[in-house]
Chain A
Amino acid sequence: MQGRGTAVCLPADIDTDLVIAGRYLRTKDRSIWATRVFEDLDPALAPRLKGAVIVAGKNFGCGSSREQAAIALREAGVVAVIAPSFARIFFRNAINIGLPLIECDLPCEEGSEVAFDLTEGWVEAGGQRHPIRPLSARMQEILRAGGLVEYWRDHR
């Protein structure tokens, strides 16, 4: 499973309230989440997420279990999120909705090209290739299916 995108750098401890604020959660209109993503962090960020690989500091996605946070990132066009560590519920949610997360302490250069291969287990940025810890077999299967909904559709 491969991907590439443009680096968008974010700090550590981004909580899911910051990814998508509570006031936007109650809707089935997912385009609202895509346009309001990160509004309380930086309102100019959302339009820059199409084709982006977010490179964040540690503990990305902490706090509330809201799955809308992971969905908002995917709907906004984020290709993957790379961080030294993720909060655990966000981690499960992202895999479950088909958004790849990569545990890696990567120096971030805004706007640079980032590539990754989850099967071979590497991330490439600034001409350097970094090895990454592979996801569990089950998680790779879920990601390959496109998310847990698709996984269960195939496995029933």
Chain B
Amino acid sequence: MSTLSERILGAPAGDYVDRNVDRAYAHDGTGFLALEAWKKIGCDTLGDHTQYYIQFDHIVPANNSTTATLQHELREFAKKMSMQFSDIGCGICHQLMCEDAVLPGEIVVGADSHSVTPGAFGAFATGVGATDMAAIWLTGETWFKVPASAGIHLSGKLAGAAEAKDLALAYVGKLGMDGATSQALEFVGEGVHSLSMDERFVLTNLSVETGAKAGLFYADDVTIRYLREQGRAGAVQAPEPCTYCQEIDLDLADIVPLVAVPHRVDTVRPVGDLAGLAIDQVFVGTCTNGRYSDLARFARLVKGKKVAVRTIVVPASAAVLTKAIRTGVLADIVEAGCTIGTPGCGPCIGYHMGVLGEGEVCLSTANRNFKNRMGVGGEIYLGSVATAAASALKGEIASPEAS
């Protein structure tokens, strides 16, 4: 009896295997280094059986001519090699892979740590570095150590103001930043069926913050419906009895709004404990919480009101942005005093489009609050979309339960 990772990789935990990769993707931040390695190896042809993607999302549009030149080279390369290329403004690589690529049972690698996100489809999705990616461009395959799996047993339903983000912070807080190093997290139990795909993406996205190699949901009716809506098809995966190397139980009904305080994702506290802490910026977006459902929820909470601090909202993709325009969600957000960024990673990695100044504090819906990440001397508190809305309206960290 196997875990889902063992099933997809076709070998028991602990084995080293060479596997063909179904889809391989890289962004502007890692792709240029992969291209350097590619040139140094002296490659000229791509592996045959892999779908290759280059997506520009990290610094979009380019912030200076150095970045623009690096992006130019990578853009030309992607076109020359007939890779599937998404230019600035198309969206975050992980979101694009979820919107129109990954299928259950596939092996997917991305040159970014949050490439664990598409595991929500029941795929084995993981991050690699730039040189690994260059070798995957060349051969279409790479080596894996089949991971042991941790069982994250979910029961009940989210209630009140709690969101999938709070659930994600809860499990990261429980496991710790290296609590699942090189393991795969399997989200199982009757509680999973109440979670939408957007909510599952949040849970798999944060799995790397525990050191995990992958985060997986078994494909179920929710997965198949989402795929069908996006014009794709896939089959349900039934869990088998299997052995987990560790297990945690979470009752979704017990989850309350949480915040991860600087500078660790696993230092998690109830948002109420931090209520009143002054902030300088709110950031809603990223591969964690930049989807349409996030923007719609945020808009519902700020509609007809005014934010009290500068608030930056960055849609995760052009599709998200388009839908938010069509439904009026975007107008509600802008009328509430927020500003909108180009679909992509926004200020999450501290380049531009909303970096923090010395001593400034940001409430962010992203997934990392490492020291100086969004700007030297800035402090990052991670929370849900509802916490971001409540905090934006007050100009201080505020619980969405109070509003």
Chain A: residues with CB nearer than 8 A to chain B? Answer: 13, 15, 17-18, 21-23, 25-28, 40, 58-59, 62-68, 70, 85, 87-89, 92-93, 96-97, 136, 138, 147-149, 152-153, 156
Contact = CB atoms under 8 A, between A and B. Distances in A.
The 9 closest A-B pairs by CB, nearest first: A93-B129, A59-B178, A67-B129, A96-B131, A65-B113, A17-B370, A67-B130, A22-B350, A22-B349
14 contacts: A26-B70, A26-B351, A27-B66, A58-B178, A65-B111, A66-B30, A67-B30, A88-B213, A89-B113, A93-B129, A93-B131, A96-B129, A148-B131, A156-B43
A65 B128 contact: yes
A7 B300 CA distance: 55
A140 to B, nearest CB: 12
A65 B127 contact: yes
B129 A62 contact: no
Contact of A87 (B70, B211, B372): B211
A14 to B, nearest CB: 10
Given A65-B113, A138-B16, A138-B143, A149 B181 contact: no
A28 B33 CA distance: 8
A149 B127 contact: no
A63 B370 contact: yes
B41 A156 contact: yes
Contacts, number: 118
Interface stretch (B132-140, B191-199, B280-288, B323-331): B132-140
A40 B376 CA distance: 8
A15 B177 CA distance: 10
Q: Which of A15, A25, A26, A28 has the most CB of B within 10 A?
A: A26
Contacts of A25: 29
B182 interface: yes
A67 B29 CA distance: 10
Given A65-B111, A66-B30, A89-B127, A40 B36 contact: no
A92 B178 contact: no
A87 B181 contact: yes
A18 B128 contact: no
Contacts of A87: 178, 181, 211
Contacts of B370: 15, 17-18, 63
B132 A92 contact: yes
A88 B116 CA distance: 13
A96 to B, nearest CB: 4
B371 A17 contact: yes
Interface of B: 16, 29-30, 32-33, 36-37, 40-43, 59, 66-67, 70, 111-113, 115, 127-132, 134-135, 138, 143, 145, 177-178, 181-182, 211, 213, 264, 349-351, 368, 370-373, 376
A59 B85 CA distance: 34
A21 B329 CA distance: 35
A152 B129 contact: no
Nearest to B40: A149
Contact of A152 (B41, B66, B349, B372): B41
A15 B368 CA distance: 11
Contacts of A156: 41-43, 138
Given A67-B33, A156-B42, A156-B43, 6 more contacts: A26-B59, A65-B113, A66-B129, A93-B129, A148-B37, A152-B138
A65 B368 CA distance: 13
A96 B145 CA distance: 16
A92 B128 contact: yes
Nearest to B34: A67
A94 to B, nearest CB: 9
Contacts of B181: 59, 85, 87-88
Contacts of B351: 22-23, 26
Nearest to A21: B372
Given A26-B67, A67-B131, A13 B177 contact: yes
Contacts of B143: 138
A110 B174 CA distance: 33
Contacts of A18: 370-371
Given A21-B372, A22-B351, A87-B211, A148 B132 contact: yes
A141 to B, nearest CB: 11
A40 B66 CA distance: 23
Contacts of B59: 26
Contacts of B112: 65
Contacts of A70: 129
A67 B31 CA distance: 11
A89 B16 contact: no
A88 B211 contact: yes
A75 B26 CA distance: 24
B103 to A, nearest CB: 23
Nearest to B38: A149
A59 B211 contact: yes
B368 A63 contact: yes
